[in-house]
Amino acid sequence: MATYISHSAAETEALGENWGRSAASGWIIGLCGDLGSGKTQLVKGLARGLDIPERVHSPTFALVNFYARGRLNLFHLDLYRLETQDQIRSAGLEEYLNAAGVTVIEWAERWFGRRPGCKALSRGTQSLAPSLSQPGLLRWVEIETLSDNERRFVYEDIGA
């Protein structure tokens, strides 16, 4: 488990950019954090690290934004509007767990349940983690707001 303290939006983006430069196809990044904690800011940096030229924004209403013009495809999911795993299944999002490229899931605890160190409440339903059919990397990230400008990122790689 690793910890990174960001002191600005630019530092948060730099962390994401660093991850994007080393990302491999099949990576899934699960983000857990309150509203305004920097999840989308991290994804903006990740996209830059993947050499994606498009402007990245949160897919809160669309559920998924797809960016295909980089070194790898980027699938950016936002589960904020989905509260149960049944709603996630009904939305047909399971295909993104095995997509060719990098998948980032905001509010990932709604899909996978609680992970070590994540403050999110488990929904008490069966986890979809068995849906991960191909070997790869799940980077579980907890983001904690420390102050207006500071964020603590605690992350762990699961599976690799």
| pLDDT tens digits for range 4-51 | 999 999 999 999 999 999 999 999 999 999 999 999 999 999 999 999
pLDDT at 124 over 50: no
Helix (H, G, I), strand (E, B) or coil at 21: helix
Distance CA 95, CA 132 (A): 10
Please list, in sequence order, all residues whose beta carbon lies within 8 angstroms of the beta carbon of residue 98, skipping any fewer than 6 positions away.
26, 132, 133, 134
> How far is residue 78 CA from its own chain's centroid?
8
The pLDDT-based confidence of 133 (bands split at 50, 70, 90) is very low
Predicted local confidence at residue 88, as pLDDT: 87
The pLDDT-based confidence of 160 (bands split at 50, 70, 90) is low
| pLDDT tens digits for range 81-120 | 998 888 988 998 888 888 899 999 999 998 888 654 444 4
- Strand 102-106 relative to strand 28-33: parallel, antiparallel, unpaired? parallel
pLDDT at 134 over 60: no
Instruction: For residues 64-76, give the mean pLDDT.
Output: 95
Distance CA 64, CA 33 (A): 18
Q: Which domains does the chain have, with CATH numbers?
A: 2-153 (3.40.50.300)
